[in-house]
Structure 1
Amino acid sequence: DAIAFRAVLQVHGVSDPALVADAADVWAGAGGSGFGPRVTHDTLLALRRASRAWPPMAPLLAAAVPDSVDLADEEITDLLGEGARALAGAGVEVHWPRDLTRGLTTRAEIGPADGTPGPGTSAGPSLLSADALLAFDWHFALGDDRRLTREELDLLAEAHRPVVRLRDRWVLIDPQVVRRARARDVHKVAPLDALGAALTGSVEVDGERVEVRPTGWLATLRDRLADPEAQESVAQPAALAATLRDYQRRGLTWLARTTSLGLGCCLADDMGLGKTITLIALHLYRQDEPGAAGPTLVVCPASLMGNWQREIERFAPGTPVRRFHGARRGLDDLAEDGFVLTTYGTMRLDAERLATVPWGMVVADEAQHVKNPYASTARALRSIGARARVALTGTPVENNLSELWAILDWTTPGLLGPLSAFRGRYADAVEGGEDPAAADRLARLVRPFLLRRRKSDPGIAPELPPKTETDHAVSLTEEQAGLYEAVVREALERIAGADGMERRGMIVKLLTGLKQICNHPAQYLKEDRPVITGRSGKLELLDELLDTVLAERAGVLVFTQYVRMARLLERHLAARGVPSQFLHGGTPVAARDAMVRRFQDGDVPVFLLSLKAAGTGLNLTRAEHVVHYDRWWNPAVEAQATDRAYRIGQTRPVQVHRIIAEGTIEDRIAALLRRKQDLADAVLGSGGAALTELSDAELTDLVELRGEPA
């Protein structure tokens, strides 16, 4: 039978006489019929087990009635932690008297002095000002949340004992815990640090996570930011020559409210949902806001400058707009209410000149261009001051969370802390899937500063036609299969004997070579005047798809990451008599605009595009088909390319075709991308570079050819 045994700890006047009497009565009647004849024996065995686990219990074995034991202060302290855990391992529970208050709870309180006006008011502080420090105070309470004064905390610490009489009751607290609490002084913190702690609800102090409660206007601001949908809607600017959709009006409200607080933000809607018109509306809105007016600088890829100018002239007629680009660029006589458009390359070269202008707002379009905070482009952009900073991107995280940090640390410097601390606190735990709580804290911290809407979200773009995505598996030709296996065999032999950077370089070269072989042998072999037909399974399928597209008199976009492959396709299509054009990174801005017009007018049915150069910013709604001839390492980049056709303004169903060489590395990469897309919906893990860290066995499994060639 199970035996119930309870030892009462009599310590310096702390006892429970009723329990003592119960224990004595039980022991005296142990030989009777109440508990059976073996009760004394089993109880002594339990006591021996307990005393081995925690030696201070040993005196109970020698007691006539093992009902109590006297403990020294340090033994009680030990019983609060290690002792209780050791006894639990031996099957003995520790029960403390009910009227004994246990445990000291600690939380931080962060906020301004009473009556201090908040940000967004004429007298309030700027959240970006290092001078506007807030108080970081401590709240200490006993078990029932009765707050302790500093004097009472001092009393507990000075007693140097685990059991102290306080407020007419006994208090049981580890002296070490009290000493640590007493050492925590009131200090000042920067507003953004305080806001980050308020949004996440906790802060790390000396390796321990402590609950945080905001006070004053910081609490009000936290509630306001945490629920953007509760913000009072702003009116659409009268000067805007368009009617915003509902989700665009909500985006305008969010942008206006956030920037009015002196905070930057990132509008991360899917491509094609109208980030440009929403930003134009924000510019017009801010012209009427006190302290917010001033010219807006838009930094964007070269291919987007024409689109920005057309959109501004269309939706904000009469608003001055100029391009700061080319040999004759200048900043003289800037209009207070105007736009200045420049490219990332020009901005990098002329950051000092641009930094002399008191910008009302700086906008980084396709902000993933500054995802590397150490690159010269990102450093130049950070040097240009403004009253507000807004990032626009459809892919705030392409490969890892450091990219998200780079964007938000530009829009609102200091919000996420230093990059090294951010990686240790959030990125490593989230990307590794080790700490769901870290992912939740990061989401709460980031959500107020990053607005993300997708075309698939309910009510966002119901007018968009359906989109069908199909993976087409093709077999390698005999030539491709033989070349593939030879390259794998030779490369793996060399990689097995290498290490460090040399090994990583070899792996990158192998992966690139295999993808080129899957495209077409002539691409890998760098043939000058190759025979193109009959050598590639992918090309045969592309011909079949194009026959269907041309018969429908539809338009098609064909994306490849390789310029050489696009040139081969261009030559092949010309031989077939199929009109096509090719846009790549070296195409001048004026030529790009002309290509877009020709395609949109239906003059050229096949548009070949370099994925890296044309994956963003172009409006190509004439296309009903999108072909990804080869796979990029990142699904977000492919999605952006698809969005050249599948965007607001598209009225016909869009079919997306991804061509995959079966049995090859492309098969395995496709599976990796599907898993990576799931992670991207929360916060993305590491990118293709992680493949260079595979073991020899893992690499072999990734690249070996499976199945038979066609």
Structure 2
Amino acid sequence: MFNLQFVVIEFTNSTNEIIFNFNDDFLNQNPNPTETLYEDSIYHFDTKGLINFFYLLDKIKIKELTRDQKRKGFYELKVLKNPSLKKATKVNQNNAKDLISHRNSISDLALPFFIKNIYHPKLSHKDFQTKGISWLKHGKSKILADDMGLGKTLQAISASAELIREKKITNVLIICPTALCSNWAFEINKWLPNFSVIQINNAGKAKNDIWNKLYNFSHFMITNYEQLRKMPEILEKNSIDLIIADEAHKIRKGSSEIYNSISKLTYSRFWALSGTPIEKDEDDVAHLLKIIDPELNLPVLKKLDTFSLKVTLKDYLLRRMKADVLDELVEIEEIRHEIDLSDNQKKSYERILQSEEIKNRKQSLKIFSSLKAICDLDSSSNSSSKIEYVEELSEKIFERGEKCVIFSFWLDPLYRLNEILDKKFGRNSNRLFIGSLDSKERENVLSDFKNSKDCFILLCSGKLGSEGLNLTEANHVIFFNKWWNPSNNDQARDRIYRIGQEKKCFIHSLITLNTIEGRVNEILSEKDKISDEIIESLVKNEIKEI
């Protein structure tokens, strides 16, 4: 069998036309280089450039060329289609049996280390991303903590792909929150067309059987944290070349079940990704360092003073902020829209403030929530000045041919907007992206929003939108309301304001005048979050103004 390190394969204009460039050592050892290349080999190139092992030699038609062309290894390959496996396949107990049945025909995947250009032709890394990719590759234990929107996912998959091509690793296990699994698969398929990816979610009782059949079945295996609370047996028995843990702050608690489970794994490299600052809790930092670098001594880490621990962390950490790379980001405009309550909203608002319940200090949080809810939507009359304003704003966005994500941390306004936008723009104009959707439904919703020209509005739960999603197809965000913690709002905004965005971004915040919401917004501009004491004070001030 030939040694592939002697061979470089370049795609020409067509993915079916391939040039084999053999170096002199290979040519000296093999007088008939192309015959040697095919001898006993079981791989083929499908029409998308994905490389799989198959016994398809009899289906490869080799065009007769001149002696010189043969020496250079110029051949046209035809009839190359993958009959079994799609590039991205989501696996659960419902379709695992069908997928596993292809195992005998697929055998194994070739590693694309002989592909000259592993990236999609349209991919161009920013300078800071190129540095991040190099930083990830050179070292085995890494924490990539770039600010939200700077492309941690892209840097991680790019560095992984280069390591695979360089034959330094063969498999990658990506662990992330359930809501982000499809996003990882989407990014790999989009930017790494020569690599395969499989998602393994919700395996249920068939977990061990599915993992046994699919382990090392593709270049990238994606799963969620829940899948690993009880570790699949094959992962415990085998060493993993590279683990990528997205939203890694979820595994920083040493007492958590998922931390203890992942700690049992054997791996050569571990990259933790997180846009959330991790330096605040020293115990969390010690545990995270231990999990990315098992050779560290946890008791010693815990005894380090604050300064020494930060020095240790610095050796593993790379964090760039948006302010550091502003010249590589598009322009952003933040717009505050101040809106009066409708007459019905005002009546319901004043009714709560005049109720007997308002006198009970223990009811402050309940009253606060009720007042905030009325600022969005008066449920007794379905009246909402914000919804009327969003209708007008949506019409302008529609006329510009642009897309928008509307965030709300309460669901009732999203349901009402869904009904109104359906009537105004048609049922295909918008999609709800909320917590009650299962992973497949979420995947379909995001696919519609990203790919359909008709769908230009995503009605998104603020809690779902604050983690990891890439929504750069939109360049408008409308905050129907905001959360009490500004970092949650920033994370939601950064779904569109991130690397990959090519249009100017508009961030619209809807604030009702002369209400508790307006006062909350003023406080949030100065403080990190709203405390219980602040809530009680706000309610008291509302009463005084009646």
Q: Same fold (TM over 0.5)?
A: yes
Tell me, yes or no, if the aligned pair for 1:298 and 1:362 is still in contact at 8 Å: yes
% identity of equivalent residues: 27
Partner of residue 187, structure 2: 311
Find 1:512's aligned residue among 364, 369, 372.
369
Matched, 1:325 2:201: yes
Tell me, yes or no, if the aligned pair for 1:485 and 1:705 is still in contact at 8 Å: no
1: CA distance, partners of 2:251 / 2:524: 23
1: CA distance, partners of 2:287 / 2:516: 32
1: CA distance, partners of 2:288 / 2:435: 24
2: CA distance, partners of 1:402 / 1:487: 45
**Correspondence list, 1:642-657, <5 A:** 642-657=493-508
Cα deviation for residue 674 of structure 1 reads 2.8
| C-alpha distance 322-606 of structure 1, shift in aligned 2 (>3 A) | closer
2:213 match: secondary structure = coil
Partner of residue 255, structure 1: 136
2: CA distance, partners of 1:336 / 1:596: 26
- Output the amino acid matched with 2:327: P
Partner of residue 109, structure 1: none
Partner of residue 67, structure 1: none
Partner of residue 150, structure 2: 273
2: CA distance, partners of 1:587 / 1:443: 40
Matched, 1:391 2:241: no
Tell me, yes or no, if the aligned pair for 1:556 and 1:625 is still in contact at 8 Å: yes
1: CA distance, partners of 2:161 / 2:461: 35
2: CA distance, partners of 1:660 / 1:490: 27
Listed one character per residue, the Cα deviations across residues 295-340 of structure 1 (whole Å, up to 9, x for unaligned) are 2210123333233234334544444432222446323363398321
**Correspondence list, 1:211-290, <5 A:** 240-241=118-119, 244-259=125-140, 264-287=141-164
Tell me, yes or no, if the aligned pair for 2:197 and 2:218 is still in contact at 8 Å: no
**Correspondence list, 1:471-510, <5 A:** 471-484=336-349, 487=352, 490=356, 493-495=359-361, 508-510=365-367
Find 2:241's aligned residue among 351, 360, 372.
360
The answer to which structure, 1 or 2, has the higher relative contact order (CA under 8 A, 6+ apart) is 2
- Output the amino acid matched with 1:384: L
| C-alpha distance 409-491 of structure 1, shift in aligned 2 (>3 A) | farther
Listed one character per residue, the Cα deviations across residues 265-309 of structure 1 (whole Å, up to 9, x for unaligned) are 32122333322232123324545889x635221012333323323
Partner of residue 470, structure 1: 335
Find 2:517's aligned residue among 642, 661, 666.
666
What is the TM-score when the length of structure 1 is the normalising length?
Answer: 0.52
Find 1:700's aligned residue among 521, 534, 537.
537
Tell me, yes or no, if the aligned pair for 1:258 and 1:265 is still in contact at 8 Å: yes
1: CA distance, partners of 2:227 / 2:268: 22
Cα deviation for residue 613 of structure 1 reads 1.9
Cα deviation for residue 346 of structure 1 reads 1.9
1: CA distance, partners of 2:231 / 2:446: 29
1: CA distance, partners of 2:537 / 2:356: 12
2:542 match: secondary structure = coil
**Correspondence list, 1:297-446, <5 A:** 297-327=173-203, 329-332=210-213, 334-335=215-216, 338-350=219-231, 354-370=235-251, 373-396=254-277, 407-408=288-289, 410-412=291-293, 444-446=311-313
1:591 match: secondary structure = helix
- Output the amino acid matched with 2:331: P
Find 2:314's aligned residue among 439, 447, 455.
447
| C-alpha distance 246-515 of structure 1, shift in aligned 2 (>3 A) | same
Tell me, yes or no, if the aligned pair for 1:473 and 1:659 is still in contact at 8 Å: yes
Cα deviation for residue 708 of structure 1 reads 8.2
Cα deviation for residue 419 of structure 1 reads 10
Cα deviation for residue 401 of structure 1 reads 7.4
1: CA distance, partners of 2:539 / 2:293: 41
Partner of residue 540, structure 1: 388
| C-alpha distance 545-333 of structure 1, shift in aligned 2 (>3 A) | closer
1: CA distance, partners of 2:155 / 2:326: 15
Tell me, yes or no, if the aligned pair for 1:668 and 1:702 is still in contact at 8 Å: no
Partner of residue 627, structure 1: 478
Partner of residue 581, structure 1: 431
2: CA distance, partners of 1:335 / 1:246: 32
1: CA distance, partners of 2:518 / 2:136: 42
Partner of residue 102, structure 2: none
Matched, 1:521 2:378: yes
2:337 match: secondary structure = strand
Cα deviation for residue 391 of structure 1 reads 1.5
Tell me, yes or no, if the aligned pair for 2:118 and 2:194 is still in contact at 8 Å: no
Partner of residue 226, structure 1: none
Worse-matched range after superposition: 403-412 or 278-287:
403-412
1:391 match: secondary structure = strand
Partner of residue 82, structure 2: none
1:298 match: secondary structure = strand
Tell me, yes or no, if the aligned pair for 2:176 and 2:223 is still in contact at 8 Å: yes
Find 2:169's aligned residue among 286, 293, 302.
293
Partner of residue 490, structure 2: 639
Listed one character per residue, the Cα deviations across residues 57-105 of structure 1 (whole Å, up to 9, x for unaligned) are xxxxxxxxxxxxxxxxxxxxxxxxxxxxxxxxxxxxxxxxxxxxxxxxx
1:462 match: secondary structure = helix
| C-alpha distance 421-610 of structure 1, shift in aligned 2 (>3 A) | farther
- Output the amino acid matched with 2:477: V
**Correspondence list, 1:53-132, <5 A:** none
| C-alpha distance 255-637 of structure 1, shift in aligned 2 (>3 A) | same
2:267 match: secondary structure = coil
1:704 match: secondary structure = helix
| C-alpha distance 674-448 of structure 1, shift in aligned 2 (>3 A) | farther
Cα deviation for residue 514 of structure 1 reads 3.1
Listed one character per residue, the Cα deviations across residues 414-447 of structure 1 (whole Å, up to 9, x for unaligned) are 688699978xx65xxxxxxxxxxx7xx7654543
Listed one character per residue, the Cα deviations across residues 6-28 of structure 1 (whole Å, up to 9, x for unaligned) are xxxxxxxxxxxxxxxxxxxxxxx
1:250 match: secondary structure = helix
What is the TM-score when the length of structure 2 is the normalising length?
Answer: 0.66
Cα deviation for residue 581 of structure 1 reads 1.3
Cα deviation for residue 378 of structure 1 reads 4.0
Tell me, yes or no, if the aligned pair for 1:347 and 1:354 is still in contact at 8 Å: no
1: CA distance, partners of 2:514 / 2:300: 44
- Output the amino acid matched with 2:143: C
2: CA distance, partners of 1:567 / 1:492: 29
2:396 match: secondary structure = helix
RMSD: 3.7
Tell me, yes or no, if the aligned pair for 2:146 and 2:152 is still in contact at 8 Å: yes
1: CA distance, partners of 2:187 / 2:527: 34
1: CA distance, partners of 2:236 / 2:515: 50
1: CA distance, partners of 2:297 / 2:352: 48
Cα deviation for residue 607 of structure 1 reads 1.3
Unpaired runs of 5+ residues, structure 2, are 1-114
Rg larger in 1 or in 2? 1
Cα deviation for residue 561 of structure 1 reads 1.4
